[in-house]
């Protein structure tokens, strides 16, 4: 993949609450860590619904990764493909690689759903009274998962041995945990801080934020 033509799709602007959290960040971060050069196709809001994009991402979402003309979608699948072809994101030992794979799926399938539900309640549900009634139950489910994660992680710097693609996925999930929950987990906050201080993460974040800043005035005027 290092010698392939790689193109990531990304939005030209999103509302402030989503800036720095759109999932192309995961893909950019993995590519930065792997040292793979890539281009970014910046899409205007609404373009994700066009037939041309739906042919490469049937749900009209961001990101996709084009690899020499063929397209891959779903951030977890994209990250795993990058990791498989990199020298830095997967261990060579098969048992260690299996552990990384398990934690990638745990982050996406076990931790991210309750975290995403909290984001939905806090940011998107218009009936705030209904959201307030439901939120404690969802927050309890999220805390249960965070309790277990904190117990497994302990004082370790990474989730599966050395730094790997699992840390990229898990860090991006934990960054979306609401402040009132993550405040109770100092080791998880330290884990996030440690990984978001990496130069590759900072480069990925800067790349995502650049078009948001450039296009903010246009979108805000239209709104």
* CATH, residue 84: 3.40.30.10
Which class for 59: exposed (0-12), middle (13-18), buried (19 or more C-beta within 10 A)?
A: exposed
- Domain range for 47: 6-88+200-222
143 and 160 part of one domain: yes
Is residue 1 a part of any domain in this protein?
Answer: no
Is residue 214 a part of any domain in this protein?
Answer: yes
Is residue 133 a part of any domain in this protein?
Answer: yes
69 and 114 part of one domain: no
What pLDDT, on the 0 to 100 scale, is given for residue 223? 66
d(CA 164, CA 82): 11
What own/partner pairs with CB < 8 Å and gap ≥ 24 does 74-77 have?
A: 75/23, 75/24, 75/26, 75/27, 76/104, 76/105, 76/108, 76/169
14 and 41 part of one domain: yes
Residues forming a β-bridge with 43: 11
Terminal-to-terminal C-alpha distance of the chain: 40
What pLDDT, on the 0 to 100 scale, is given for residue 1? 86
Residue range 66-121, pLDDT digits in tens = 999 999 999 999 999 999 999 999 999 999 999 999 999 999 999 999 999 999 99
Is residue 146 a part of any domain in this protein?
Answer: yes
- Count of domains for the chain: 2
77 and 160 part of one domain: no
33 and 106 part of one domain: no
Cα dihedral angle (29, 32, 38, 41), rounded to 10 degrees?
Answer: 30
107 and 78 part of one domain: no
191 and 212 part of one domain: no
32 and 99 part of one domain: no
112 and 149 part of one domain: yes
Q: Using the structure block, give the residue that is written with the tokens 């996406």.
A: 108
For the chain, residues with pLDDT lower than 50 are: none
121 and 63 part of one domain: no
d(CA 39, CA 69): 13
Q: What is the DSSP string of 175-202?
A: TTS-HHHHTT-HHHHHHHHHHHTSHHHH
Is residue 194 a part of any domain in this protein?
Answer: yes
* Mean pLDDT rounded to a whole number for the chain: 96
* CATH, residue 169: 1.20.1050.10
83 and 103 part of one domain: no
Q: Using the structure block, give the residue that is written with the tokens 């609404």.
A: 46
101 and 81 part of one domain: no
Query: What proportion of the chain, given as a percentage, has pLDDT over 90?
Result: 96
d(CA 135, CA 34): 38
Supply the pTM of this predicted model: 0.96
Is residue 77 a part of any domain in this protein?
Answer: yes
């Amino acid at each position: 993949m290092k010698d392939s033509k790689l193109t990531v799709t990304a939005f030209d602007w999103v509302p402030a609450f989503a800036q720095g959290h759109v999932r192309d960040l995961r893909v950019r971060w993995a590519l930065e860590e792997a040292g793979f050069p890539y281009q970014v196709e910046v899409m205007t809001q609404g373009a994700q619904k066009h037939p041309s994009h739906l042919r490469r991402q049937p749900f009209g979402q961001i990101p996709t990764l084009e690899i020499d003309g063929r397209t891959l979608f779903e951030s977890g699948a994209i990250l795993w493909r990058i990791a498989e072809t990199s020298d830095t994101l997967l261990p060579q030992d098969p048992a260690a690689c299996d552990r990384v794979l398990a934690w990638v799926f745990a982050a996406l399938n076990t931790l991210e759903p309750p975290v995403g539900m909290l984001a939905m309640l806090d940011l998107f549900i218009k009936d705030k009274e209904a959201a307030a009634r439901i939120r404690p139950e969802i927050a309890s489910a999220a805390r249960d998962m965070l309790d277990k994660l904190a117990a497994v992680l302990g004082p370790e710097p990474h989730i599966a041995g050395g730094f790997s693609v699992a840390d990229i996925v898990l860090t991006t999930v934990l960054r979306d945990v609401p402040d009132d929950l993550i405040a109770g987990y100092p080791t998880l906050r330290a884990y996030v801080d440690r990984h978001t201080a990496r130069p590759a993460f900072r480069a990925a974040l800067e790349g995502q934020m650049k078009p948001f800043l450039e296009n903010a005035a246009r979108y805000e005027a239209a709104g």
